[in-house]
Structure 1
Amino acid sequence: MTVDWAAVVDGTWPAAGYEQLGPFLLREGQGGGSRVSAASRIGPVTPPDIDAAEAAMLAMGQKRIFCLRPGDKALDDMLAARGYEILDPVNIYACRVSRLTDQPVPPVTVFTLWEPLAIMREIWAQGGIGPERLAVMERAPGPKTGLLLRHRDQPAGTGFVAIHDGIAMLHALEIVPAHRRQGLGRWAMRAAAFWALDNGAHTLSVICTKANTGANALYHSLGMDRVGEYHYRQLV
């Protein structure tokens, strides 16, 4: 099955608005980060098209940032020639939910709930995930849930999962520093898989920056496959 991973990202972590401008899909992020603010290519691009996209992004009060996926090499080269710098190369991992539902999550380790509790919002805030990114979660059409992780009877982490077209994607996984290296990321993924299964999804996926060696190792160790990649280019 061929998956449009860009559609899965947009469906589970949506921008505030979308606009087609020539060969570009523009996103209005309202401060929610690169993923909901970057323009992406949907057709052949010429230099004037880039000029127009840049002007539109500036008019929205946003940085000039483009998302480059496999097949976008020509655009990537054009942006590099304009002085755009590479930002946050990422991997996309995925697996069948059945791969991660073979063993139960220990009791009171992960709770799934929506709306997020105040402690979940606090943990996200400590990790730099503020109101603008919480607004992204609110916009996700669902099904969706928050994850509340506990360790030694204390709140230890949180995350967000949403489903698009049978594919669940985990976003904004944040583990409290004092509770890291305790296997909570592994249980978060398994809990997300159980929730995804219960809500009609066949696949669980996650996005991870290539620089995050620990997270990449975790997803490999869980038997997830690297199914895609992309990076941004931004004009500073």
Structure 2
Amino acid sequence: MSAYLTVRITPADVGKRVSVRTLTGAGEQEARFTDTVGTLTAWQGGTLSVTRRDGRLVRLAESSLVAGKVVPQAPPRRRGLPAATVAELVQVGARTWPAAESERIGDWRARAAGGWTRRANSALPVGEGRPDLERLGAWYAARGLPLVLHVVEDGSASGGPLAAELDRLGWEAGGHTLTLAGELAPLADRPADPRVRLGRTLTADWLRRYRRAAAAPETARLVLGGGPSVWLATVPGGDGGREDAPAAEAAEAGAVPEAEAAEAGPAAIGRCVVDGRWAVFSAIEVDPAHRRRGLATAVMAELARAALAEGASAACLHVERENAPARALYERLGFHEHHRYHYRRAR
């Protein structure tokens, strides 16, 4: 009984860093204590899920607990970056922004989605070999698309050396992008906002707010609705202002009448796809009339809570290098640069 009383954690501590001790084995000879430290990502059905700092998920039987407590966050690794290789995040990014069709060609994977977004219509490295430009080019030509390569800016064979070779061939570079990563729990710990609504289905209103979808709505629906576990967040147009803001203050802030706002579409949207330990955010957009009211943060926090409940522990997103406001926001939310990449296309 005294051992049970040393357990000072409950399901309410999900999302926090904990230290737990379990006792396994039957009988005195086989009994063994095991200590586990990490983020408590779930506690349900008599089982605790703890994600270690290295990303490994450990499941513990509640009945085996003999001690447990909440502990301070560990000093961050590389400014809070979860442990992950570039190759891991490249593949996670591909699965959470899926193409309509893909095919492995050598050590590269060709991906296509009718030309909608470079991310879904570029070839990705899946090994260390150089791209077979002739075969890849033919694959894309058969679909009426140009060959575009996703080039990671690192020292791997498919990174810096490849970029230098493409420079010599005269290939143009564009779409310079940063992959950011961070811990999920601190984002999920932010206060809940009742204005944010979560769902699993892409609606016409959600797509209307996502400006890039207008060019190819059906393809956009296919890509945005794909992935291992998709969550979509919406703040209705009439809910864009602070609930406690006086009407005069709201007017000064640029608020629009509720009926007009509803007709214009959601005040804010966001998307998050859970892929194992990763929660990958995308399509975070706020109506210009509702900016600077914390909606982007509220949307991401609500999505983070949903991802955390599924067992994710790390967060990731992609942002264009020149998008300084977005980069500043994500840094405030605990995201830091993991690596960079850009796209290459023959002139």
- Taking structure 2 as the reference length, what is the TM-score of the superposition? 0.62
Structure scoring higher RCO (CA < 8 A, sep ≥ 6) equals: 1
2:240 is the alignment partner of 1:151: yes
Identity of aligned residues (%): 25
1:60 CA drift (Å): 2.0
Residues 1:88 and 2:175 are matched in the alignment: yes
| 2:129 paired with 1:44 | yes
Pair 1:122 & 2:122 matched: no
Question: 5+ residue gaps in structure 1?
Answer: none
Query: For the structure 1 residues 50 and 59, does the alpha-carbon distance in structure 2 shift closer, same or farther, using more than 3 Å as the test?
Result: same
Aligned-partner Cα distance in 2 for 1:143–1:129: 25
Secondary structure in 1 aligned to 2:146? Answer: coil
Question: Deviations 1:137-163 (Å, cap 9, x if unpaired)?
Answer: 2232x3211110241365302121111
Q: 1:57 to 1:130 in 2, by over 3 A?
A: closer
Question: Which structure's CA Rg is the greater one?
Answer: 2
Q: Deviations over 1:84-119 (max 9, x none)?
A: 2111111111222111122312222x1111212321
Change (3 A) 1:200 1:224: same
| Amino acid corresponding to residue 84 of structure 2 in structure 1 | T
Determine whether 1:66 maps to 2:156.
no
**Contact 1:170–1:206 (8 Å) recurs in 2:** yes
Rounded to whole Å, the distance in 2 between the matches of 1:114 and 1:187 is 18
Deviation of 1:217 (Å): 0.5
> 1 CA distance for matches of 2:113 and 2:212?
21
Q: How big is the alpha-carbon RMSD for the aligned residues of Structure 1 and Structure 2?
A: 2.0
**What amino acid sits opposite 2:140 in the alignment?**
M
Q: Which residue of 1 aligns with 2:279?
A: 168
1:217 lines up with 2:328 in the alignment: yes
Range with bigger deviation, 120-129 or 154-163: 120-129
Could you tell which deviates more after superposition, 160-169 or 74-83?
74-83
Letter in 2 for 1:45: R
Query: CA 1:184–1:121 in 2, change beyond 3 Å: closer, same or farther?
Result: same
Q: Report the CA distance between 1:127 and its aligned residue.
A: 6.7
Letter in 2 for 1:81: R
Q: Amino acid of the residue matched to residue 328 of structure 2?
A: A
Distance 1:212 1:203 in 2: 23
Preserved contact between residue 89 and residue 230 of structure 1 (Cα < 8 Å): yes
Shift of 1:231: 0.8
Q: What CA distance in whole angstroms lies between the structure 2 residues aligned with 1:189 and 1:125? A: 18
Letter in 2 for 1:52: R
CA–CA separation in structure 1 for the residues paired with 2:107 and 2:184: 35
- Report how many aligned residue pairs link the two structures: 232
User: How far off is 1:129 after superposition?
Assistant: 6.5
Is the 8 Å Cα contact of residues 100 and 111 (structure 2) preserved in structure 1? yes
8 Å CA contact 2:180, 2:317 repeated in 1: yes
Q: Name the residue aligned to 2:84.
A: 2
Are residues 1:79 and 2:190 paired?
Answer: no
User: 8 Å contact 2:206–2:234 — kept in the other structure?
Assistant: yes
1:135 aligns with 2:222: yes
Give the secondary structure class of the aligned counterpart of 1:139: coil
Secondary structure at the aligned position of 2:210 is classed as: helix
Taking the aligned partners of 1:75 and 1:116, their CA distance within structure 2 comes to 38
Superposed displacement of residue 125, structure 1: 4.1
Alignment deviations for residues 51-87 of structure 1 (CA, whole Å, 9 cap, x no partner): 2222222122212210001221121122222222111
1:31 is paired with a residue whose SS is coil
TM-score, with length taken from structure 1: 0.90
Corresponding residue number in structure 2 for 1:102: 189
2: CA distance, partners of 1:224 / 1:117: 29
The AA in structure 1 aligned to 2:107 is P
- The one-letter amino acid of 1:211's match is E
Partner Cα distance (1:211, 1:82) in 2:
26
* 2:123 counterpart of 1:12: no
